[in-house]
A and B are shown apart, each in its own frame.
Chain A
Amino acid sequence: MRREGSPWQGLGSVLLKELADHFDSARMMLLALLMVLAAGVPLYSAIEQLRTTTSEDPFLLLKLFNPGGQTLSVVAILGFVIPVVAIGLGFDAVNGEHNRRTLSRILAQPIYRDALLAGKFLAGIIVLAINLMCLWLLVVGFGVLLLGVPPSGDEFIRSLVFLIISIAYAGAWLGMAMLFSVLFRSPATAALLALGVWLFMTLLWPMISPFIAQLVSPPDIRYQLLGVLDPQTAAWQQGLSRVSPYLLFEEAARSILTPTTPSLGPLLDQVRALRGEVVGAALPLRESLLIAWPQVVGLIAGAIVLFVATYVVFQRQEVRA
């Protein structure tokens, strides 16, 4: 049976109202502050480090985001903090309306549920995008000011691509937070579970997945004797690790931001070494994009799948309190 009328009716109104709510809220201020502070520390140390090596590196701007080596990078911190901000924005999106008893009143207006959900999701994405863009501008601005080297066009585009990747990453976590806000009537439960998933994906999974990979496909003794990774085990390891959006984000960011060492895990490095490529040479932008493409698509697809799941659950949910 077809329903009549546009599912987008009222979307603009919902979007504007949600945006206004976000910008007015103390929660938003706190989350933005958290993001800036968290990114400030690694940025500062990166700048300190780069000052000594300014003349040697052709990709200074990118080094600001990801200095490489053991130093804590802006990328790693963002990989950690973006989910918290996204969860903070989304965990009470729908159950909050339920608990304030506004849901049935709003849905009694001439709009479909689609508009309410999409409006909330879009508002969240826009807020996250604005935050990330400000952060990006801060990093680039500080880089130019403190290092005194203008970025090249290539670097600029790469850093913009990184911005887009981080927005996609934020979208995936926002989708999950909103799914939980539909599934659980209590915002506290939704927030705790979302944070639980976040901890699991960012801290535990990177530690567990190699073990699982070794269990599923034990490495061949011949490879072990040669001191290299069994390609099959490595493939499993990589495949499993990509379940976590955190690792997807890291991989994508790494391949975009470090053109000189786009190390993609032991397997690909071995393959590329065998093909006679020089691991460590700077790749052109196009190649870096191609390498990061699957990860970016994965993140966007994750965001869409989570949103669709949220949509389906929400459509079937009873509105009465």
Chain B
Amino acid sequence: MSEPVITARGFTKRYGEAVVVDSLDFDIIKGETFGLLGPNGAGKTTTILMMLGLTDVSAGTVRVAGYDPVRQPLEVKRRVGYLPDLVGFYDHMTAVENLTYTARLMGFARDVREARIADALARVRLLDVAHKTVATFSRGMRQRLGLAELIMKHAEIAILDEPTSGLDPQSTHEFLDMIGELKHEGVTVLITSHLLDQVQRLCDRVALFRGGRILMMGTVPELARQVLGAGFVVDVEATAAPGKELAARLGAIPGVTTVKQTGDVTYRLTADHDVRAEAARAVVAADGALTRLSVDNPSLESIYTRLFEKQAATNGEIRDAA
């Protein structure tokens, strides 16, 4: 495993009594795309602001790109690009002027500045509107301008907070492609979202976040195994020759944990791996007619829903007990 660029240990944020972020431990590896998922108010934005040194850390430590954001925020912010949710620009200034301001704050010399801005605007396909005021920009264009800022900074780490919220499907698609390009260049991307299919498409690893805690962290298949148990759900629709008990035969397949008859001729198997081939063989062996065979890929959505359902259930129990 390569070196981590963000390391958090016991990372905590309290507002008075309320604990918003509760002793997080995580590592983000250089070059990976990491998704931070959770409902609104789970503490995602607060976590990000603490990593940038924009809000105080109540307890614990964090290192970002080798620096401590509490004491060396300037070094951190020089290396990290942050795209806040609903990013704002100065409406009366043009795209280039807005980026020039940022570049000046970064301390870039004039020639570096101009070259990088032109390059960044070309990358996000805003070059033709470079000299129009941002007031005329659509939501998607603003978001792309925000991304151009990160590209212009040559950020090592890109932190994107809800980057696709409020975008139409077309813009979302384009935007995700651009994030993908960043990833190919070796930029470490930290992305928060509640749009799960996007995160699943883009992220190497995800952390499920709730109530200021990381409930679970890992790749999507890993999480599926943990949350959904066996992980693979295979639906079989088949009729068997009379006298041959299909359910029992399906249950006998190695790896299958449960078989449920969901209709006259439909069965649902849960298994620890993809058992479609074995299921087909079992149906044929029983002289049956196989009409449909499908497997549910573990989707982040189902993991997410299931996890939070479980959580709600446990919380309910606790509340009932008390």
Give chain A's interface residues, CB within 8 Å of chain B: 1-5, 9-10, 13-14, 16-17, 21, 24, 100-102, 104-112, 318-321
Contacts and interface: CB of A to CB of B under 8 A. Distances in A.
Contacts of B104: 10, 13, 16-17
A111 B74 CA distance: 6
B165 interface: no
Contacts of A106: 102, 105
B119 interface: no
A5 B90 contact: no
Given A1-B70, A4-B74, 20 more contacts: A1-B71, A2-B71, A5-B74, A16-B104, A21-B90, A100-B89, A100-B91, A102-B90, A104-B54, A104-B84, A105-B84, A105-B149, A107-B54, A108-B52, A109-B102, A109-B106, A111-B77, A111-B105, A112-B73, A112-B74
Interface residues of B, number: 34
Nearest to B67: A4
B307 to A, nearest CB: 26
Contact of B82 (A4, A10, A101, A104): A104
Given A4-B74, A105-B82, A110-B77, A24 B92 contact: yes
Contacts of B87: 101, 105
B253 interface: no
B205 to A, nearest CB: 24
Interface of B: 45-46, 49, 52, 54-55, 70-75, 77-78, 80-84, 86-92, 101-102, 104-107, 146, 149
A295 to B, nearest CB: 39
Contact of B90 (A4, A100, A109, A111): A100
Contacts of A321: 84, 86
Interface residues of B, dominant DSSP: mixed
A100 B101 contact: no
A4 B75 contact: yes
26 contacts: A3-B70, A3-B72, A4-B72, A10-B107, A13-B104, A16-B104, A21-B92, A100-B88, A100-B89, A100-B91, A104-B84, A105-B82, A105-B83, A105-B89, A105-B146, A105-B149, A108-B52, A108-B54, A108-B80, A109-B105, A110-B73, A110-B78, A320-B45, A320-B46, A320-B55, A321-B86
A13 B101 CA distance: 7
A101 B86 contact: yes
Nearest to B104: A13
Contacts of A16: 104
A97 to B, nearest CB: 8
Nearest to B142: A101
A9 B55 CA distance: 19
B166 to A, nearest CB: 12
Contact of B88 (A5, A17, A105, A109): A105
Nearest to B15: A318
Contacts of B45: 320
Contacts of B46: 320
Contacts of A109: 77, 102, 105-106
B105 A13 contact: yes
B49 A319 contact: yes
Contact of B55 (A1, A3, A319): A319
A27 to B, nearest CB: 11
Closest 9 CB pairs of A and B: A101-B88, A5-B74, A108-B82, A13-B104, A109-B105, A110-B78, A102-B88, A110-B74, A110-B77
Contact of A3 (B54, B73, B78, B101): B73
